[in-house]
Structure 1
Amino acid sequence: MSQVGDGDTDHYCWQRPEDMTTSRQAYKIDKDNPGSDVAGETAAAMAAASVVFRKSNPKYARLLLHHARQFADTHRGKYDGSIREARSYYPSWSGYEDELLWAALWLHRATARAEYLQYVVENGGALGGTGWAVTEFSWDVKFAGVQILASKMRQLLRDEKNLTKAQTAELQLYRSKAEHYVCACLGRNAGAGNVRRSPGGMLYVRRWNNMQYVTGAAFLLAVYSAQLEAAGGRLRCPGGDAGPDEVMDLARSQAEYILGSNPMRISYLVGFGPKYPVRVHHRGASIVALKRSKDFIGCTQGYYDWYGRRGANPNVLTGAIVGGPDDRDWFRDDRENYMQTEACTYNTAPLVGLFAKLHHQSMTLSLDSQKMSEIQVE
């Protein structure tokens, strides 16, 4: 299952989910209608989740891994080539190559099976993993994540002396591209190969829903910082070296920006802090809840009665992260300003991982401080 409903029909209506009467037609991929990007991403997600649940729920972890290993590379093709309805809203601009590598890396992480490592090594050039030097990480463009995960694999397997010279050389190419991405975020690549910054310090990639690139970058920076720290190394950039603390500081600064440390003094995490977006571009949040009014709201009625209202949404979309400000840190809290106020799950997902890292650091510092106090008392 790759998509339910179609964007054109859904965008014609502004309704609560409970009132929707638009078609819920489902679209799938198969050998006759390939979607290597969707299949690869699904396999990667299941493999990664199997690692998470391995100890707490081993039965579920085995089930996830069983399905993840059904990942195949026989029938290639972009999912929006098979599902044309996806092209207007979620086109696969980057293709499926990054997802094939992404799946193989996570399957190796979950199983330690040599064939997945060999797939990554043998296909790095052909699929772009060792060729693309990118400055963004998103639901569509996963090369930066691929390169950082491959870099971590190289470090772990080299320490265990489980790599051949050829494998080491190929994984080093992945690592160099991972370094390019992190250096780009730090603003230390040569020429124009850097990620822009707003005056307030926000990483800026493009106008529409820039926050997806901010949260994705912050998460990868935290991951790479941990890799540097574990290796006892430093990042070599054309514009100067950086240690793990500096990389992590940039990740932390992006989280702080999102939570309100920005020129607008607004939290882009809905429901957090004294000031946050209250006119989120979201159907369910912008229309009175069903438990308060059971009157049916028709397809276009929602636009007339609710969409254009100047007031705050009747429901707070707690935990959502909106598209965020422009390259000058300016943000307009308006439901019709969908480029800035629309909330997406792929904005929030990477930030959960970053928050977990920051919480762990906070707890570690607290315990270290407590131990030092106990020593001084003794």
Structure 2
Amino acid sequence: MGRSCLASFLLLFAGAVMVGVAYGEGKQHDYGDALAKSILFFEGQRSGQLPSTQRMKWRKNSALQDGSDKRVNLVGGYYDAGDNVKYNFPMAFSTTMLAWSVVEFGEFMGVELEHAKEAVRWGTDYLLKSTDTPGIVFVQVGDPYADHNCWERPEDMDTPRTVYAVTPKLPGSEVAAETAAALASSSIVFRSSDPSYSQKLLRRAMEVFDFADKYRGSYSTSLGRWVCPFYCDWSGYEDELLWGAAWLYKASSNKKYWNYLVDNISIMGSKHRKSTNNQIKMKGPTSGEFGWDNKDAGINILIANSSPLDNGDSLVKATNLNADQFICGVLPESPTRTVTYSKGGLLFKPGGCNLQHTTAISFLLLAYATQLKRTNDVVKCGNNIIANSERLITLAKTQVDYMLGNNPMKMSYMVGYGKKFPLKIHHRGSALPSMDQHPGHIACKDGTPYFVSKKSNPNLLIGAVIGGPYPNDTYPDSRFLPAQSEPTTYVNAPLVGVLAFFKAHT
């Protein structure tokens, strides 16, 4: 989410109309093709020395000196969106969601499984570098103000590649704990195929989580204007600590992390409720949010229906209840619905870059549907609304189909998929001529004519899913509107798992 896109996250959404069915229902899509392209997108976001297996050929090596000002190697990782800064907070979340996609739905990916694992590893290799110095977690590379002042290819960058870090004196629990979640979840991905790498990821995840928990504080305070408003942590760091502990338990089965959840979930940024006998019971994270900033809904879905240990019954009950409440907040027919739907059927939440919400919530719908089917359970919303696993799957499918073309614009919001898709996305590498086309240096302001041009981008960022249409289902296709036209890693990452599911279930 670039600067303008992220700034629009703060604007309140209004005016959407509720509907319960998707536009163009019945048109089938090639989910396998969309899956392949959604993973390929991550190659277009790579920073560093590109491998010989690189398939997005118009991208070249970039940012090969990252970390040099601190005498560390921070080459690699992903650019978050259409700019050239490496923000570890959203990068770690994107890596976690790529890993969760593989863990939850990897069996359905077929030949794309290896590409998905490569995408995960490109993130974890960098996160290992970012956490290689004891007592320090490097959390950002690049001066965001200088970067956003230029329209420049990553291969040409001449803006400061300033390195920012959190330490015991300048804590950043949310970014450190999200990094721990990324490493822990990814350790599951490589458990069979590369056991030694898997163990390295898990050991580092434990170390980084301990750092995040011991030195509590927000990086939004410690690093201030260098991370805000770009990826400021609006929801507090407590949710990331719970999220990290949940993934560490899932990856290690270590009772220590389950006990951490039991001990902390009721007091970390959540409210209590009293039962009829006036006993305090855990309620846990209750918001319906899920994304790079707020992990509440994801925590509940991840923990729900886990096998309780000797003191875990209350935790499982609380998270199952909260997961049900989240689902009831999403279902169009629910009396407690908290989201809105456009006339064309697209889910909307307040803020810009709306498809980040759509893909993340669709993932959670499918993950919970899998659990409901396994336990033969249902979700009850109000007195009469009952939803089984198939209802959740159907809702997720309407969202995916909308994104792929079943919408009033009759266009795909994934670049390169279908006959009609966005051609003027807000993305520097895509909008500027490639090094093959223009090998000479394009300086900071020399790229401006390409930004203001009415021509289509010369390079297709295949698989990129953009911010999406307006609440009235229209899309202007303009680089000037990053909330609509900018792609991000955290829009695509949950979609990888969603597409894998529908590839195997349609």
Aligned mates of 1:90, 1:136 — CA distance in 2: 16
Q: Deviations over 1:24-66 (max 9, x none)?
A: 0111112111111011111111111111111111111011001
1:12 paired with 2:149, answer: yes
The answer to which of 124-133 and 102-111 deviates more is 124-133
Determine what percentage of the aligned residue pairs are the same residue: 39
Matches within 5 A, 1:233-248: 233-238=377-382, 240-248=385-393
Aligned to 2:361: 217
Q: Secondary structure of 2:169's partner?
A: coil
Indicate if the aligned counterparts of 1:121 and 1:171 stay in contact, CA closer than 8 A: no
1:292 paired with 2:433, answer: no
Aligned mates of 2:435, 2:260 — CA distance in 1: 51
Q: 77, 83, 94: which one pairs with 2:223?
A: 83
Aligned to 1:35: 172
The answer to which of 98-107 and 26-35 deviates more is 26-35
Query: Structure 1 residue 128: deviation in Å?
Result: 3.3
Aligned mates of 1:338, 1:287 — CA distance in 2: 16
Aligned to 2:292: 139
Matches within 5 A, 1:1-378: 1-70=138-207, 71-72=209-210, 73-84=213-224, 85-128=226-269, 130-153=283-306, 157-158=307-308, 162-164=309-311, 167-190=312-335, 193-238=337-382, 240-303=385-448, 305-362=449-506
Query: Structure 1 residue 237: deviation in Å?
Result: 1.2
Indicate if the aligned counterparts of 2:143 and 2:159 stay in contact, CA closer than 8 A: no
Aligned mates of 2:188, 2:504 — CA distance in 1: 19
Q: Pick 1 or 2: higher relative contact order, CA cutoff 8 A, min separation 6.
A: 2
Query: Structure 1 residue 298: deviation in Å?
Result: 1.5
Cα distance, 1:212–1:184 mapped onto 2, change above 3 Å: same
Indicate if the aligned counterparts of 2:425 and 2:487 stay in contact, CA closer than 8 A: yes
Q: Deviations over 1:194-214 (max 9, x none)?
A: 211111111100241000000
Query: Structure 1 residue 359: deviation in Å?
Result: 2.1
Residue identity opposite 1:146 in structure 2: I
Aligned mates of 2:378, 2:269 — CA distance in 1: 26
Aligned mates of 1:135, 1:117 — CA distance in 2: 23
Q: Secondary structure of 1:62's partner?
A: helix
Aligned mates of 1:296, 1:225 — CA distance in 2: 51
Residue identity opposite 1:74 in structure 2: K
Aligned residues: 352
Indicate if the aligned counterparts of 1:198 and 1:329 stay in contact, CA closer than 8 A: yes
Aligned mates of 1:361, 1:63 — CA distance in 2: 35
Q: Deviations over 1:106-145 (max 9, x none)?
A: 1000111111001111111111363443233111011000
Aligned to 1:367: none
Cα distance, 1:144–1:329 mapped onto 2, change above 3 Å: same
Indicate if the aligned counterparts of 2:265 and 2:285 stay in contact, CA closer than 8 A: no
Which structure: larger Rg?
Answer: 1
Aligned mates of 1:210, 1:81 — CA distance in 2: 27
Root-mean-square deviation (Å): 1.4
Cα distance, 1:207–1:32 mapped onto 2, change above 3 Å: closer
Q: Deviations over 1:250-305 (max 9, x none)?
A: 111111111111111111111111010000000010011111112221211211x2
Indicate if the aligned counterparts of 2:239 and 2:285 stay in contact, CA closer than 8 A: no
TM-score relative to the length of structure 1: 0.90
Q: Secondary structure of 1:212's partner?
A: helix
Indicate if the aligned counterparts of 1:187 and 1:194 stay in contact, CA closer than 8 A: no
Query: Structure 1 residue 17: deviation in Å?
Result: 1.1
Indicate if the aligned counterparts of 1:266 and 1:276 stay in contact, CA closer than 8 A: yes
Residue identity opposite 2:221 in structure 1: G
Aligned mates of 2:504, 2:241 — CA distance in 1: 32
Residue identity opposite 1:338 in structure 2: P
Indicate if the aligned counterparts of 1:105 and 1:149 stay in contact, CA closer than 8 A: yes
Aligned mates of 2:303, 2:344 — CA distance in 1: 32
Residue identity opposite 1:260 in structure 2: G
Aligned mates of 1:114, 1:252 — CA distance in 2: 37
Indicate if the aligned counterparts of 1:287 and 1:302 stay in contact, CA closer than 8 A: yes
Aligned mates of 1:9, 1:234 — CA distance in 2: 51
**Unaligned segments of structure 1, at least 5 residues:** 363-378
Indicate if the aligned counterparts of 1:6 and 1:86 stay in contact, CA closer than 8 A: no
Indicate if the aligned counterparts of 2:301 and 2:319 stay in contact, CA closer than 8 A: yes
Aligned mates of 1:187, 1:265 — CA distance in 2: 22
Query: Structure 1 residue 188: deviation in Å?
Result: 4.7
Q: Deviations over 1:228-260 (max 9, x none)?
A: 000011111126110100101111111111111
Indicate if the aligned counterparts of 2:285 and 2:300 stay in contact, CA closer than 8 A: no
